[in-house]
Amino acid sequence: MSKLWGGRFEQTASEWVDEFGASIHFDAQLVLEDIEGSIAHVTMLGDQHILTADESEQIIGGLNTLAEKAQAGELSFSVFHEDIHMNLESLLREEIGPVAGKMHTARSRNDQVATDMHLYLKRRVGETIEGIEALQTALYTHAANNVETIMPGYTHLQRAQPVSLAHHLLAYFWMLDRDKERFNDSLKRIDMSPLGAGALAGTTFPIDRHRSAELLGFSRVYPNSLDAVSDRDFILEYLSNASLLMMHLSRFCEELILWSSEEFKFITISDVFSTGSSMMPQKKNPDMAELVRGKSGRVIGNLMGLLTIMKGLPLAYNKDLQEDKEGMFDTVKTLQGSLSIMTGMIQDMTFHADTMKQATERDFSNATELADYLTAKGLPFREAHEVTGTLVRYCIEQRLYLSELPLETYQTHSTLIGTDVYEALSPVTAVKRRNSYGGTGFDAVRTQLTEAATKLHQPTS
């Protein structure tokens, strides 16, 4: 059997060389996109009378048959034919005979594979956005039920100020919303057709690239054939957006892992998303959260891999670009799995409000409240900060908390302090009063929830 491109060659490659150069092991995932692109191309060739109506109908009929077989899992591919394009052309030839060879008129595998990946990512981005929205909904639901649940807020992983649990959860909601915006915006670059660019220079045939783009649902056509076949920016942008999303999920997972530990006991992760130890019977490990945290590394690695491939490539197509797909496929799979796991884990999670609130009562996270209290009484903030720091040091020495200090002790440090200081030091009061826009105050959080609900119900463009 000869290669479909083998007319110029006298020698044939060894099997191991074919194996090394073939991409069919992974680009078989593009089978339906490849068939879809071929149907649009052949339809356009028929419209332009480059193929006869009979030839066009025969080829399209054969391609539809292959699509049905592909969906039923009935197609077998060969390394000998290297990639999904040549495999499908060979299978089409078996279906309809030599006329199958006319399908490739005015087309190269260079513009063909680029078209496949544009079609593939256009669909996958839509699925990613749906996955993000599902996770946002899970976060929103818990936030709406926990506006007045108090927990410690942290900086440097040290207790800083008490916050609303809803406020903390909504921080991730807004991170995800920016991720969603980035993916949505990336569709502008994905929604472009390279089909008809040929190998690099276009074609002498009177094709209509805008017609094939219209048939495939693309809104734009690459205006430069060299750029069309060599561009992988749209994949890099997807991988970059995916890396940001996975970084956000990883940060959240790190907190969930901490919160579920005996040291925190803020949450219980469902057994469905936990595992045990083969040696220690008491263990309940947050393995799914750890896996999502770990999988962020492979997604970021896929981005770095393709950036490294692209950085030294001259125009136009180079075989190096065969390496653009595995990382893309892996990232799509990792993203879908991670979003599904995170959504289920959040939906089934139990928050321990009492434990969280107790944590805010046995620390110095209300020290800022005392400084603000003194400032409101007329003391310059820098002096109020100094007085509060001195009182905190005194409490540490006496093994007390600010709420336990007698009024007489307070007044030896500042005569501005009255009995109302104890109410000001209450964690609930501390949170409730912070109603600046975007703050953790209960009213401010309810405003956030209203805005978040609007975001969830906005259609993506």
Residue 277 among the catalytic residues: yes
Residue 333 — very low, low, confident or very high, per pLDDT cuts 50/70/90? very high
pLDDT digits (tens, 9 = 90+) for 254-312: 999 999 999 999 999 999 999 998 888 888 999 999 999 999 999 999 999 999 999 99
d(CA 89, CA 101): 7
Which residue is catalytic, options 219, 261, 277, 340?
Answer: 277
Buried b (16+ CB within 10 A) or exposed e, 278-308: eeeeeeeebebbbebbebbeebbebbebbee
Q: Coil, strand, or helix at residue 449?
A: helix
- The share of the chain scoring above pLDDT 70, in percent, equals 96
Mean of pLDDT values over 88-97: 97
Question: Given its phi and psi angles, is residue 106 left (phi above 0), alpha (psi -120 to 50 degrees) or beta?
Answer: left
Q: Quick check: 135 and 177 in contact, CB under 8 A?
A: no
Q: What's the number of CA atoms in the CB half-sphere (13 Å) around residue 346? A: 25
The span from the first CA to the last CA of the chain, in angstroms, equals 49
Residue 4 — very low, low, confident or very high, per pLDDT cuts 50/70/90? low
d(CA 284, CA 292): 17
Read off the pTM. Answer: 0.91
Torsion, Cα 430 436 441 442, to 10 degrees, reads 150
Mean of per-residue pLDDT scores for the chain? 94
d(CA 226, CA 317): 8
Residue 5 — very low, low, confident or very high, per pLDDT cuts 50/70/90? very low
What pLDDT shows up at residue 23? 86
pLDDT digits (tens, 9 = 90+) for 427-461: 999 999 999 999 999 999 999 999 999 999 876 55
Locate all alpha helices (DSSP H) within 29-107, ordered by sequence. 31-47, 53-71, 84-96
- Whether 391 shows a pLDDT value over 50: the answer reads yes
Which residue is catalytic, options 76, 156, 457, 461?
Answer: 156
Nearest to 246 by CA among 338, 138, 112, 322: 338
- Whether 12 shows a pLDDT value over 80: the answer reads no
- Whether 342 shows a pLDDT value over 60: the answer reads yes
Mean of pLDDT values over 384-392: 96
pLDDT digits (tens, 9 = 90+) for 175-195: 999 999 999 999 999 999 999
d(CA 113, CA 325): 10
Buried b (16+ CB within 10 A) or exposed e, 154-178: eeeeebbbbbbbbbbbbbbbbbbbe
What pLDDT shows up at residue 10? 57
Work out the burial of residue 94: count CB atoms within 10 Å of its CB; fewer than 13 is exposed, 13-18 middle, 19 or more buried: exposed
Mean of pLDDT values over 318-325: 94
- Whether 7 shows a pLDDT value over 60: the answer reads no
